[in-house]
């Protein structure tokens, strides 16, 4: 079922997963500017273009890799050198995500539905979700430390890393890009590497 995936979609998933497996790696440009190796990527395509297959493929492959790496050199996961690596995260609230990051500072989210991710912003809160979006913007920048304090809890996260690999329909991406161009956006969609491969038409015997 994976033979019909386009090169572009596979490459997008590969760099997203590789980004989080590289841990705290940074890219050094010109010797004076460093940027954490963090990827937010969005695979865009029409219905039945195997977007879901691609996201599931890399999510399952990543989880399998983490299981193997977590036991590398020591069968006791708690003493493993890869203790801070966790399986793909599926937190639907920003509070849950920050809690997971405070426990394991390297996380990847695989969303089979970009609209699901966007609609989770502001869940159980008043407002338009701008606060939740600002957290994702901050995490993309790869700060050395991140603090989040409210009345009922406090999170102090050292060197957090978050990667996102999502699939979605073109209209959602277009709407958000148009908002950015009209200065209504906050730069969220601009953080994403958007891949829109040309649909592959297969003959019946190739399926």
Residues of the chain by 3-state class (helix, strand, coil), percent to 5: 40, 20, 40
85, 104 Cβ separation under 8 angstroms? yes
Domain membership of residue 26 (yes or no) is yes
The span from the CA of 77 to the CA of 68, in Å, is 10
- 48: three-class secondary structure by DSSP: coil
Q: Is pLDDT at 82 greater than 60 in this prediction?
A: no
46, 90 Cβ separation under 8 angstroms? no
CATH of the domain at 151: 3.40.50
Domain membership of residue 82 (yes or no) is yes
pLDDT of residue 171: 85
Domain membership of residue 15 (yes or no) is yes
- How much is the average pLDDT of 153-170? 87
The span from the CA of 146 to the CA of 137, in Å, is 12
- How much is the average pLDDT of 6-29? 82
Nearest to 77, CA basis, from 64, 66, 90, 65: 66
The span from the CA of 112 to the CA of 206, in Å, is 24
Q: How confident is the model at residue 37 (pLDDT cuts 50, 70, 90)?
A: confident
Q: For the chain, how many structural domains are there in total?
A: 1
- How much is the average pLDDT of 133-143? 87
pTM listed for this prediction:
0.81
Q: What is the mean pLDDT of the chain?
A: 81
Note down the domain range covering 103: 7-195
The span from the CA of 142 to the CA of 152, in Å, is 25
Domain membership of residue 128 (yes or no) is yes
pLDDT of residue 108: 92
176, 51 Cβ separation under 8 angstroms? no
């Amino acid at each position: 079922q994976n033979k019909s995936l386009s090169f572009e979609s596979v490459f997008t998933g590969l760099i997203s997963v590789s980004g989080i497996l590289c841990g705290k790696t940074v890219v050094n440009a010109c010797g004076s500017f460093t940027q954490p190796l963090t990827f937010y990527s969005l695979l865009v395509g029409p219905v039945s273009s195997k977007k879901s297959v691609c996201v599931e493929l890399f999510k399952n492959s990543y989880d399998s890799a983490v299981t193997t790496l977590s036991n590398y050199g020591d069968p006791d996961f708690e003493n493993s050198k890869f203790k801070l690596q966790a399986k793909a995260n599926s937190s639907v609230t920003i509070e849950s995500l920050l809690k997971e990051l405070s426990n394991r500072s390297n996380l990847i989210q695989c969303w089979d539905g970009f609209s699901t991710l966007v609609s989770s912003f502001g869940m159980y809160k008043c407002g338009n979700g701008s606060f939740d979006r600002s957290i994702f913007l901050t995490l993309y920048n790869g700060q050395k430390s991140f603090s989040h304090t409210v009345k009922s809890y406090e999170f102090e996260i050292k060197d957090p890393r978050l990667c996102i690999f999502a699939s979605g329909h073109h209209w959602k991406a277009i709407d958000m890009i148009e908002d950015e161009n009209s200065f209504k956006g906050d730069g969220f969609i601009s953080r994403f590497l958007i891949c829109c491969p040309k649909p592959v038409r297969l003959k019946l015997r190739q399926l």
